[in-house]
Amino acid sequence: MGDRWQEQSGLPDDSFAAVAANGGVLAVTGVYGGGGYCVDGRYVDKPALGGRQRDGGEAFIVRVLRDDPIVMSYPTGIFLGTGSGVDRSWTRLS
């Protein structure tokens, strides 16, 4: 696979899903809810994202849309992060 796969340091032990966004940002969701970013090997928690909840084993999904918004889906709601890098405004959609 060459250099296509790289180990990422600094992720929390309870990381569930991660996706690369522009600007070297890795958006991360946690096993028990919550989310944040990993940039340059340092994790920054965003407590407003989903809380620390787990409901019936449901997955906490994170994805990046084509024009760079980050979407984090939790059993408690969907959060949309617009902006760039870690400078984003978060809106709860449901």
17-21 mean pLDDT: 89
> Token digits for 13?
């032990």
Structural contact between residues 32 and 50, judged by C-beta atoms closer than 8 angstroms: no
Structural contact between residues 28 and 13, judged by C-beta atoms closer than 8 angstroms: no
Please tell me the predicted confidence (pLDDT) of residue 57.
52
Residue range 41-68, pLDDT digits in tens: 888 888 666 555 555 555 678 899 999 9
Sign of CA dihedral 70, 56, 33, 4: negative
pTM of the predicted model, to two decimals?
Answer: 0.76
